[in-house]
Amino acid sequence: MIIKALDSLGGLLFGREKYRRGHYKLAKRLAARQRYEVYKPHLIWLTDPEFIAARDMAEQRGIEGSPYDRCFTLMTSARMVRNIPGNFAECGVRYGKSSLFLLTGAGAQSTKRLHIFDSFQGLSEPSDADVQSGGKSEWSKGDLAVPQDIVRQNLSAFGDRVDLHKGWIPDRFNDVADQEFSLVHVDVDLYEPTLASVEFFYPRVKPGGVIICDDYGSGDCPGAKKAIDEFFADKPENVLSLTSGQSIVIKA
Ligand SMILES: C[S@@+](CC[C@H](N)C(=O)[O-])C[C@H]1O[C@@H](n2cnc3c(N)ncnc32)[C@H](O)[C@@H]1O
């Protein structure tokens, strides 16, 4: 309340844009002291109209999840594969924030369906591969659980373009065994379900399609990187590691 009032006053006194830039400079200076990075305000992804509309929808509906730089990667990847045949798949949905950006990127007229695979009971049991260098795992079984009905409601704006497959990965993958895919988003945090996801979907992704792993560059998710590196070690594609923490593979 007080901060909102200060923002309005600052905008009136200095002009809205100058006031915003002042915030950026302050944030940048504070971040630099701890060697963090702050995105520059003139980057065009921050002003992309579809991105802004999707962000507004997520915020109005109170949908939490992936940070917005990752959401933009998903949206722009979905745009990139608009002309590649095949549906979308997402392994690990939580509240549906990443799904919202995938569906937005596909385009309002798209006939591509998004097949979502999730336990809706949170994470499975972490394995030894999910233990960080300090000897502990960030995760426990059941973390990040969100009920299926909430996800259905959060994604209701996309009508019947979404199919929810409830179960432990890979139990429900057979539901789509005969389908082709142009985009697969893997965001399950752990080694075993990440490996099972890429093993199943890789042969079903069309050339030019993409496989994105949300957790590849996250220090909290060492098992996800291990699964991706192991799987692609003998494949013709290379793994592109992004500053957002995601990885992308474009199918050859
Ligand atoms: C990090 S969250 C996904 C976040 C979401 N993609 C977003 O960006 O908002 C991880 C999700 O993976 C699901 N999950 C983790 N392990 C699983 C498994 N073995 N089988 C099925 N779902 C799993 C959890 O229920 C949770 O919804």
pLDDT 10s digits, 136-155: 889 999 999 999 999 999 99
Give the number of other Cβ atoms within 10 Å of residue 95's Cβ: 21
Domains of the chain plus CATH, in order, are 1-42 (no CATH), 44-250 (3.40.50.150)
Please name the residue whose Cα sits nearest to atom 5 of ligand 1: 93
- When pLDDT is cut at 50, 70 and 90, the band that residue 17 belongs to is confident
DSSP designation for 84? S
Q: Which pLDDT score, from 0 to 100, does residue 70 have? A: 98
If you average pLDDT over residues 7-25, what whole number do you get? 86
Q: Model confidence at 105, in pLDDT bands (50, 70, 90)? A: very high
Kindly tell me if the per-residue pLDDT of 1 is higher than 90: no
Each residue of 150-189: pLDDT tens digit?
999 999 999 999 999 999 999 999 999 999 999 999 999 9
Six-digit token string for 148: 């299926």
Sheet (strand 247-250) strand order = 162-166, 114-118, 87-91, 181-186, 205-213, 247-250, 240-241
Which residues form ligand 1's pocket by a CB distance below 6 Å?
65-66, 92-95, 97-98, 118-119, 122-124, 144-146, 168-169, 187-190, 193
Picking from 207, 208, 222, the residue whose alpha carbon sits closest to that of residue 80 is 208
Q: Which of 169, 65, 91, 66 is nearest to 125 (CA)?
A: 169
Q: Give per-residue pLDDT as tens, 68-93.
A: 999 999 999 999 999 999 999 999 99
pLDDT value, residue 15:
86
Mutate to test the pocket of ligand 1, among 59, 66, 71, 123 (most ligand atoms within 8 A of CB): 123
CA distances 109 to 30, 68, 105, Å, are 43, 24, 11
pLDDT of residue 220: 95
Cα of 128 vs centre of ligand 1, distance in Å, is: 19
Give the pLDDT of residue 136: 85
What's the whole-number average pLDDT of the chain? 95
Output the pLDDT for position 28.
93
What confidence tens digit (pLDDT) does each residue in 205-250 have?
Answer: 999 999 999 999 999 999 999 999 999 999 999 999 999 999 999 9
Closest CA to 211 of 228, 225, 196, 224: 228
